[in-house]
Structure 1
Amino acid sequence: MNRLHPLSAVTYAIQYGFMWLWVPIVLVLVLGGIFDPISPAWTPIAAPIGFLAGAAYGIVYYYRFEYGITPDTFDVASGVIARRSREIPYGRIQNVDVKQGVLQRLLGLAVVSIETAGGGNTEASLNFVSESEANRLQEQIRRRTAEVKDRRRKRDRDAAAGDRTESTPDISSGVEDETAAPGDEAETPPGEEGPESTVLDESATEEPPQDRITEPSRPRRQRLFDLEARELLLYSFTSFRPAAVAAVLFVFFLATEPIVDLFVTTAQPFGGPADLGEGTTTSYGILTVVSAINGILITYLLSVAYTFATYYSFQLGRADEDFVYERGLLQRYSGSIPVEKVQSVTVTENPLQRLIGYAGLWVETAGYGPESSGGSQSAVPLAKKGRVHQFTENLTDVETPTFRSPPTMARRRYLARYSLIAAVVVAAVFAIAQITPLERWYFAAVVFAAVPPAAHLKYVHLGYFVGDDHVVIRRGFWSRRTTVIPYYRIQTVSTQRSIFQRRLGLASLVVDTASSRTFFWATPTIYDVDLEDAREVNMTSRKRLQSALRERARDDDLGLSVDFT
């Protein structure tokens, strides 16, 4: 069993020291209000005691934390008071993720996270090991995982071959009996050898070198995609990260008064109020518009910086049957995407990216994705649309889809839906006008002008294709997603109908896989098709799912190619 890097002891000591720092402080304050002999003045003495106790616990935790690689499992033992031992089979390991922050890269350290299929949580985390040790663990665990998969496939093939042999009658026994009786062998003249007999015997008795068994050859890594500087800049400026909104709101709540003063100063050249407490309705309106523009601009620039730092020097390669990736400027990530865990492939593009002819490629895995708590992972952040489509076809072997659109009744439904939303917006502005000096509230009715194009754009970007081996679903305007799902990856196919859909004779078809659903990635759905078409697609998908499973069990094939070239 191995221990973490010695600097981990310092890290754990500081971490638990600050965690335990507050325990005696709280106890002194609470008990001081109950018992008179205990005074809050004891806090400066109690705090260092708590820190020292926590630091001691962190050091003991470091010495009690052990990990090791065994032939069948990766073992981790941890815990001071409650001891916990984990044996993680290689067959369940999905990814070995290596992360390095700026300080960690300077110190030559790394965090190794071992993820398993079936959940979004980290199974084991090593904080910290040396960079060379992290690379060694990543490589050895990946190789042993591949060996487990190979042994499993060989066992399944042998079992299938045995079943076919037992079920096939021996029609050649009669011919063999005519040429040679059991136990008789053809005579070989002295000094001569039967063809290939001696060679086969020697190869059968020769033992393979021991090092070839214990240390298999390192898999050759093939580079598949590099995100060029131009593509990185385009991706940064044409995409948006919702995390930027949370960051801006967090900063605003921390420094509300300075930021408001800054907005007031910025709005003054355009006619804003000289002071927040003095101004007219017009000046306050100008302040609101200028502040909104500034907020949007700051959020956008923060999103650009975040995307640039996240996908800086992005590389995608292949090692055996896994995709391997590296990315990151301030915090460096490296990990793998097991091909056999890929549930679906999604091509993403927003209006700006469609305008310049670019798109991205994401894969959905079963249970874990480094991008979030779900299973989404970017395989190609941004590239020419034709290249991304070629990648998709090579990855999934999907035939070129011919999309079917929903009936025109669906467009009428979207027109009615967006009209109701516009009416709610006008009603809200009217209500605000009744309690504020806001005048000309009826100008808000301009939102109705956006209803027809919004309904049309939603309708024209919907489509589906039912192929021989895959179902392809396209939806979305602001973030259009085209998802390719192999039939054998489908978990459930369900038909859903709302009250309004039942009145119009429409239905939606939900195609669910084993990949986790996240807040931003909903389950692929074929929206608002005729009920009979939905039932037909449902039945076809179920039949082809069973056929794909039988064929896959017979051929023992991954079903996904790892060759992008």
Structure 2
Amino acid sequence: MRRLHTLSAVSMALSGAISGLLLPVAAFAILGESVEGIDSSWVFVVAPLGLAIGVGYGIARYYRFSYELTAETFDVTSGVLSVQSREIPYGRVQNVDVRQKLVHRLFGVAVVSIETAGGGDTEATLNFVAEDEANRVQAEIRRLTAAIEADDGDDTRPAPSTEADTSAGDRTDSAEPRAARELLFELEFRELLLYAGTAIRPGAAIFPLFLLLVLTGDPTSLVPESITELSLVALSAIGIVAWALATSAISAAYTVAGYYDFRLERDGNDFVYERGLIERYSGSIPVEKVQSVTISDTLLQRLFGYASLSVETAGYGPGDSSGSQSTVPFAAESRVYRFAEGIAGVERPQFTSHPAMARRRYLARYAILATLVVAAAFLTAQVIGLERWYFAAVAFAAVPPAAHLKWTHMGYYVGDDHLVIRRGFWRRETTVIPYFRIQTVTTRRSLFQRRLGLASLVVDTASSRTFTGSVPTIENMGLEDARTAHENSRKQLQRTLRDRARDENVGLSPEMA
């Protein structure tokens, strides 16, 4: 059994000290005001005691935490008052990620996260181990997982490498050699800059607004009291432009920091990636456990002929671990489709368009949204005295093109081995789902869909989520088409499961890149 790096003891002791010190202070601050007989000066006696208990508890957590790589499982023991022992079978491991923030890199340590198919939470986290030890754990788990999957029924099991036992704080020579890997993709600096300029990250839009609120306290104070309506419109336009520029700059900086020096390599049937400037990520993605493949591109990226590719494994969606499932973050569209063909075995499909009735539904939906915009402008006018609030009705002019663009960029393909779903305009996503990965297929109809003769086909995999955070769905199909696709998916699932049992040859060669 191995222990964490000695820096973990310092971190746990510091965390315990903060909790042990703040809890008595908060308790006496509350009770001293509401309960008679409690002298607030007692806090100077109790707080040091809480500090000592917190430090002791943190150190005890460090000494009670241990881990071990056995022949069949990764074992973790933790807990002070209640001891918890976990055995994680290698066959259930989906991903092994190594993360290093700037402070981790300065001290030569890393955080190892082990994900299984059991859900969105991390099954085990080693926080912290030496950098070489993190690489050793990652490489050993991948090696043992691959060996167990390749086992043809023998009773023998692969054993962990029998290197000399060293403390977790020391550096080891057991990290996997880079020469054993095959380089599949490397993000060039020119591509990184183009990616940063075309990527859209919704989270970046919140920061400028938050910063404005913090700096001004009340953003409305920036508006003069005697401003004219025309000046208010101009000021609003300037504010929107400034907000868009700030959002773009923050999004670009985040992209550069997150995907600097991105490399994708192959080791056997695993994809191994590394990326990051300030915070460094390293992880492995077993090809055999990929549930779906998604090709995505924004409007700007389509104009330049670029796209990205992400994969999803069971219990580990793209929203987890900072979205570290990106396999090809940015490349020429033709190259991305070659990767998709190598991983999922599907070429560019001929999509089936949705019925015109679906466009009518989106037209009604966006008309309702435009009505809400006009209503919001009217209510705002009642507060600030804006007379020409009805100019907001221009939103109705955007309704027909918005409905048409959404409709034209939707499609689906029911192939022999895969179900392909395409949706989105500003950010278009094409999700490829092999039939043998499908768990359930459900036909869903809302009240409005029943009136229009439409239906939605919900395709559930073991991961149960896509890169937009929802289950893959073919929305607003014709009812008969939905029933046909449902039945075909069920039949193809049974067929591919039989074929899969005879042929397990899946992978990606460097030549395909």
Normalising by structure 2, we get a TM-score of 0.90
Pairwise CA distance, 1:226: 0.4
Q: Does 1:233 align with 2:193?
A: yes
For residues 376 and 551 of structure 1, do their structure 2 counterparts lie closer, same or farther at Cα, with a shift above 3 Å needed? Answer: farther
Alpha carbon RMSD of aligned pairs, Å?
A: 2.8
Task: Single out whichever of 501-510 and 223-232 deviates more from structure 2.
Answer: 501-510
Q: Does 1:63 align with 2:63?
A: yes
Match runs of 1:504-515 below 5 Å:
504-515=452-463
For residues 5 and 224 of structure 1, do their structure 2 counterparts lie closer, same or farther at Cα, with a shift above 3 Å needed? Answer: same
Partner of 2:205: 245
Partner of 1:523: 471
For residues 434 and 61 of structure 1, do their structure 2 counterparts lie closer, same or farther at Cα, with a shift above 3 Å needed? Answer: closer
Partner of 1:191: none
For residues 281 and 44 of structure 1, do their structure 2 counterparts lie closer, same or farther at Cα, with a shift above 3 Å needed? Answer: farther
Unaligned stretches of 5+ residues in structure 2: 164-173
For residues 223 and 260 of structure 1, do their structure 2 counterparts lie closer, same or farther at Cα, with a shift above 3 Å needed? Answer: farther
Pairwise CA distance, 1:284: 4.2
Match runs of 1:347-386 below 5 Å:
347-369=295-317, 371-372=319-320, 377-386=325-334
Secondary structure at the aligned position of 2:123 is classed as strand
Task: Single out whichever of 367-376 and 328-337 deviates more from structure 2.
Answer: 367-376
Pairwise CA distance, 1:357: 0.5
Conservation of the 8 A alpha-carbon contact between 1:317 and 1:324: yes
Structure-2 separation of matches of 1:370 and 1:17: 35
The letter of the residue matching 1:392 is A
Conservation of the 8 A alpha-carbon contact between 1:109 and 1:130: yes
Pairwise CA distance, 1:470: 1.0
Conservation of the 8 A alpha-carbon contact between 1:364 and 1:375: no
Secondary structure at the aligned position of 2:488 is classed as helix
Conservation of the 8 A alpha-carbon contact between 1:358 and 1:383: yes
Q: Does 1:84 align with 2:44?
A: no
Pairwise CA distance, 1:554: 3.0
Conservation of the 8 A alpha-carbon contact between 2:140 and 2:160: no
Task: Single out whichever of 453-462 and 509-518 deviates more from structure 2.
Answer: 509-518
Pairwise CA distance, 1:106: 1.1
Structure-2 separation of matches of 1:308 and 1:280: 42
Q: Does 1:537 align with 2:497?
A: no
Pairwise CA distance, 1:501: 2.1
For residues 70 and 283 of structure 1, do their structure 2 counterparts lie closer, same or farther at Cα, with a shift above 3 Å needed? Answer: same
Match of 2:421 among 465, 468, 473: 473
Secondary structure at the aligned position of 2:330 is classed as strand
For residues 399 and 26 of structure 1, do their structure 2 counterparts lie closer, same or farther at Cα, with a shift above 3 Å needed? Answer: closer
Conservation of the 8 A alpha-carbon contact between 1:231 and 1:383: yes
Conservation of the 8 A alpha-carbon contact between 1:395 and 1:562: no
Pairwise CA distance, 1:411: 2.2
Structure-1 separation of matches of 2:64 and 2:269: 36
Conservation of the 8 A alpha-carbon contact between 2:317 and 2:465: no
Pairwise CA distance, 1:416: 2.7
Conservation of the 8 A alpha-carbon contact between 1:64 and 1:79: yes
For residues 440 and 316 of structure 1, do their structure 2 counterparts lie closer, same or farther at Cα, with a shift above 3 Å needed? Answer: same
For residues 376 and 413 of structure 1, do their structure 2 counterparts lie closer, same or farther at Cα, with a shift above 3 Å needed? Answer: farther
Structure-1 separation of matches of 2:380 and 2:244: 23
Partner of 2:42: 42
Between the aligned residues of both structures, percent identity stands at: 57
Conservation of the 8 A alpha-carbon contact between 2:115 and 2:123: yes
Partner of 1:309: 257
Structure-2 separation of matches of 1:325 and 1:9: 30
Secondary structure at the aligned position of 1:122 is classed as coil
Pairwise CA distance, 1:29: 2.8
Conservation of the 8 A alpha-carbon contact between 2:70 and 2:160: no
Pairwise CA distance, 1:480: 0.6
Structure-1 separation of matches of 2:67 and 2:373: 59
Conservation of the 8 A alpha-carbon contact between 1:507 and 1:527: yes
Pairwise CA distance, 1:342: 0.6
Partner of 2:149: 149
The letter of the residue matching 1:91 is G
Structure-2 separation of matches of 1:519 and 1:371: 7
For residues 370 and 518 of structure 1, do their structure 2 counterparts lie closer, same or farther at Cα, with a shift above 3 Å needed? Answer: closer
Partner of 2:128: 128
Pairwise CA distance, 1:278: 5.5
1:140-179 residue CA offsets vs partner (Å, 9 max, x unmatched): 111111111111xx12xx99xxxxxxxxxxxxxxxxxxxx
Pairwise CA distance, 1:250: 4.3
Secondary structure at the aligned position of 1:330 is classed as coil
Secondary structure at the aligned position of 1:16 is classed as helix
Structure-2 separation of matches of 1:95 and 1:382: 22
Structure-1 separation of matches of 2:306 and 2:451: 40
The letter of the residue matching 1:525 is T
Unaligned stretches of 5+ residues in structure 1: 160-207, 265-271
Structure-2 separation of matches of 1:129 and 1:327: 19
